[in-house]
A and B are shown apart, each in its own frame.
Chain A
């Protein structure tokens, strides 16, 4: 078993998702079965194979280096759950 209680807690923490005990148990089961299933990729010989990360056959185009006004701070803040004097507001971080 690849995923145990400690591992799921660690992943959940890295993902910033709080899990209750019931959820943890369910995800341990799900993730183990998915990871067992993807294990079959080890049958494939990938020696000297370059990983494919960009399937776009065209090369990346460069743009002109000119400044552009794309949006205002007002627009950016429009959907913020909490804001204060032109900034995003979050709970206090430093005591």
Chain B
């Protein structure tokens, strides 16, 4: 069987080789077959069939007409409930549509379901979800693997071919790391490229929507569909969105790639260093100049992130109080008591941990020592990248420090868990676009990922480099 491709399917639909109904029926069958992976928090065959009926009657031309897309359950959708994988939003039915999902609907795509994630996108294994773990489709029988996280359901949906593309969000690596674990392509664009309107907020200065797909070409098609300015998000950027797909060019001759020495970290498995070297060799053969660069504040990115993200989360999640929407505890003798019980019962362990740490670092007397300090270090991290990009066109690193780990691996130590994001967090803090593409295998024959980072709003260069590496690898 050839690898599925959105580009090919769009051609087949146009030439009437297949119909929208046949295509989606095929996907529906596979979703039902793979129910054991727990990819979806919400899936309704009836809902999908209704969407097919509707789009079949639509006579207009649309770019993604009839294309099955999976939506991370952090995006508010009118036609399906939205939970953020939390008990506190268990029965939430948005009365509005997020910017990103509205764009996809306008293009004629069909939403197959809402995918599982770490609760409020806080995690790296999709194991903090109130609705249970998602299983990595690449797992062998009886040895379930984690799909990565937080967008683990979306990555798994693409890997198991339950859709032709999926939306995700990335705050510190939540698209790139699961893409790497599941052997698919995942892009987090520049902060501000896609409106955050209608996405349940985690850390607003870092959150960014993006795409999972089977290959780089498909990602370029889909990203263009969800990008764009939106007045309702004050950090949404007013920039022209190029036709990424049409402009794709895998000729990298004369370009310069930056290789940051700080990304060689003690204790990184040999296979990770190996694929990194392999990728550099491939680029060299293609006429790319190799430039060793330095991003001196790299080691401070994780601790910076784990102050800023929880601080913003503690503020963003204050809205879940049992009054306006979602879950309310039964034990309510007083108003304060209602808040405290609702939030105690509605949030999971990791979310509470981050709210508590965020509240602490923002509390009177500690703000300067933690939050302000972290924002200053963040500036230095962003400056490192700005300097580096004066000498190179893009940067190549591994995506994650390991391949997919076993689902049941104990993650009692929060700091150990946070280390999953060591290669992805710095670019998040600097707001840069990054893509992960499958490249090489670990000793268990599981896929690994290479990450390509670009300048602000230079997604085209990121796609071009990714396409070039992808073609050399296949």
The residues of A with any CB-CB pair to B shorter than 8 Å are 3, 7-8, 11-12, 14-19, 23, 27, 30-31, 33-35, 37-38, 40-44, 46, 49-58, 60-61, 63, 71, 75-76, 78-82, 88, 90-93
Contacts and interface: CB of A to CB of B under 8 A. Distances in A.
Given A49-B380, A51-B379, A90-B335, 18 more contacts: A16-B321, A17-B352, A19-B344, A34-B415, A38-B303, A38-B306, A38-B307, A41-B374, A49-B376, A51-B375, A52-B379, A54-B205, A54-B235, A55-B429, A56-B235, A75-B96, A80-B323, A92-B335
Contact of A31 (B326, B360, B413): B360
B455 to A, nearest CB: 10
B414 interface: yes
Interface SS of chain A: loop
Nearest to B379: A52
B303 A37 contact: yes
B324 A41 contact: no
A26 B382 CA distance: 35
A71 B97 CA distance: 12
Interface centre among B332, B343, B357, by most chain A C-beta atoms within 10 angstroms, is B357
Contacts of A92: 335
27 contacts: A8-B356, A15-B343, A15-B352, A15-B355, A15-B359, A16-B336, A16-B340, A17-B355, A27-B352, A31-B356, A33-B413, A34-B414, A35-B360, A38-B303, A38-B374, A41-B300, A44-B376, A51-B379, A54-B205, A56-B235, A57-B192, A58-B239, A61-B238, A78-B93, A79-B92, A79-B324, A81-B323
B77 to A, nearest CB: 14
Nearest to B373: A41
B154 interface: no
A11 B360 contact: yes
Contact of B340 (A3, A17, A43, A60): A17
Interface centre among B332, B341, B344, by most chain A C-beta atoms within 10 angstroms, is B344
A41 B378 CA distance: 11
B307 A30 contact: no
Interface centre among A7, A27, A31, A58, by most chain B C-beta atoms within 10 angstroms, is A58
B327 A81 contact: yes
B314 interface: yes
Contacts of B339: 16
B334 interface: yes
A38 B378 CA distance: 13
B376 to A, nearest CB: 4
A93 B300 contact: no
B191 A55 contact: yes
Contact of A82 (B299, B318, B328): B328
B263 interface: no
Nearest to A72: B95
A41 to B, nearest CB: 6
Interface of B: 91-93, 95-96, 191-192, 205, 231, 234-235, 237-239, 297, 299-300, 303-304, 306-307, 314, 318, 321-328, 332-341, 343-344, 347, 352-353, 355-357, 359-360, 363, 370, 372-380, 382, 413-415, 429-431, 456-457
Contacts of B297: 44
Contacts, number: 165
A51 B375 CA distance: 5
Contacts of A58: 192, 237-239
Q: Would you list the 5 A-B pairs with minimal beta carbon distance, nearest first?
A: A51-B375, A55-B431, A79-B325, A81-B328, A46-B376
Nearest to A55: B431
B294 to A, nearest CB: 15
A41 B192 CA distance: 27
B415 A79 contact: no
Given A49-B376, A56-B431, A91 B332 contact: yes
A16 B363 CA distance: 14
Interface centre among A23, A33, A34, by most chain B C-beta atoms within 10 angstroms, is A34
Contacts of A61: 231, 238
A77 B432 CA distance: 38
B326 A52 contact: no
Contacts of A53: 205, 375
B353 A27 contact: yes
B377 A17 contact: no
Contacts of A33: 413-415
A78 B373 contact: no
Nearest to B375: A51
B357 A31 contact: yes
B191 A56 contact: yes
B327 to A, nearest CB: 7
B300 A52 contact: no
A88 B374 CA distance: 38
Nearest to A31: B357
A50 B376 contact: yes
